[in-house]
Amino acid sequence: MFDDFMTRATLAGVGVACAAAPLGCFVVWRRMAYFGDATAHAAMLGVALSLALQMSIFTGAVAIALLMAITVTLLSGRGYAMDTLLGVLAHSALAFGLVAVSFLSGVRIDLMAYLFGDILSVSRTDLLVIWGGAAIVVALIAWRWSALLTSTLNEELAYASGINPKREQLILTLALAVTVAVAIKVVGVLLIAAMLIIPAAAARGFARTPEVMAATAALIGAISAIAGLRAAYLFDTPAGPSIVCVAAVIFAVVSVVGRKERMGP
């Protein structure tokens, strides 16, 4: 079964959807879309460092994503708006990463694969990393689900309940770093934020509880991965962008249907 590249690609896409879905819900609820995008952009520097130091892409991407998140936390509130800090750090890290990659001699790199993903070349080892990372993210979110929801709803309520919102923010940051690292191979640095946000935003339109929204987002992400890969195979289009396009179409359909229902007959 695993000798079929399409089977491996499908399993990889579903794995990323499972990791991104619950985390994407918190990104939407907390309005952290720009933070997710910034973390993904910064991961490109992690890719360059991984190649230079001959270590796994996963390790380098997680390290840089966490470093950027910690840097933002330390610098926030010191005269710079959060979106300004994220913009500076994200685009600087992406630029330095691309420049660093160009200096690597003796290393053959497909830059487009890192920017837009190369899901069709996923190996058995990549599958282990993707599903291992997805398991870590899901377990982390499930473990802290109640505390994360409370701190997202109201920080004062969280403090009153004995919950430290800063700690929950750190847990989300860690989960985001792991998700970005496992998703690079599937959709690439530039499209990771889309897989975090679009399925969650689509699920928000008709989910009645946070748990249902997370499960629905995972389902939408998985459908997007499977249908996007099928479309890429049939029409010879890039696989990563095709997956995101399907997710965007689902979001558009859900939005239109939801609007008609609210307007009534």
- Give residue 145's pLDDT band: very low, low, confident or very high (50, 70, 90): very high
AA letter at 86: L
Percentage of residues of the chain with pLDDT beyond 70:
91
| pTM score, whole prediction | 0.87
Domains and CATH numbers, the chain: 5-263 (1.10.3470.10)
DSSP 131-163: HHHHHHHHHHHHHTHHHHHHHHH-HHHHHHTT-
Least confident of 74-83, 107-116, 120-129, 251-260: 74-83
Q: What is the DSSP string of 210-240?
A: HHHHHHHHHHHHHHHHHHHHHHHHHHT--HH
pLDDT confidence of residue 54: 81
pLDDT one-digit tens code per residue, 162-172: 999 888 888 88
The confidence band for 109, taking pLDDT boundaries of 50, 70 and 90, is low
- Per-residue confidence (pLDDT) for residue 137, from 0 to 100: 93
pLDDT band at 87 (very low <50, low <70, confident <90, very high): confident
pLDDT tier at 107, thresholds 50, 70, 90: low
Contacts 24+ apart (CB under 8 A), 104-112: 104/48, 104/51, 104/52, 107/51, 109/51
Q: Which two tokens stand for residue 129?
A: 């990393």
* Confidence label for 103 from pLDDT (cuts 50, 70 and 90): confident
Q: Is the model more confident about 71 or about 253?
A: 253
Closest Cα partner for 17 from 194, 141, 185, 195?
195
Say how far apart CA 246 and CA 243 lie, in whole Å. Answer: 5
Tokens of 33: 């879309």
Cβ neighbours of residue 88 closer than 8 Å, sequence gap 6 or more: none
Q: Looking at per-residue confidence, does 141 or 260 come out higher? A: 141
Residue 1 has pLDDT above 80, yes or no: no
Question: Stretch 43-57: mean pLDDT, rounded?
Answer: 82
Predicted confidence at residue 263, as pLDDT, reads 59
Considering only CA atoms, give the Rg of the chain.
Answer: 18
**Among 18, 45, 23, residue whose Cα is nearest residue 36:** 23
pLDDT in tens, 4-21: 888 999 999 999 999 998
Query: Which band of pLDDT confidence, cut at 50, 70 and 90, is reported for residue 77?
Result: low
Tell me the residue ranges of DSSP E strands in the chain: none
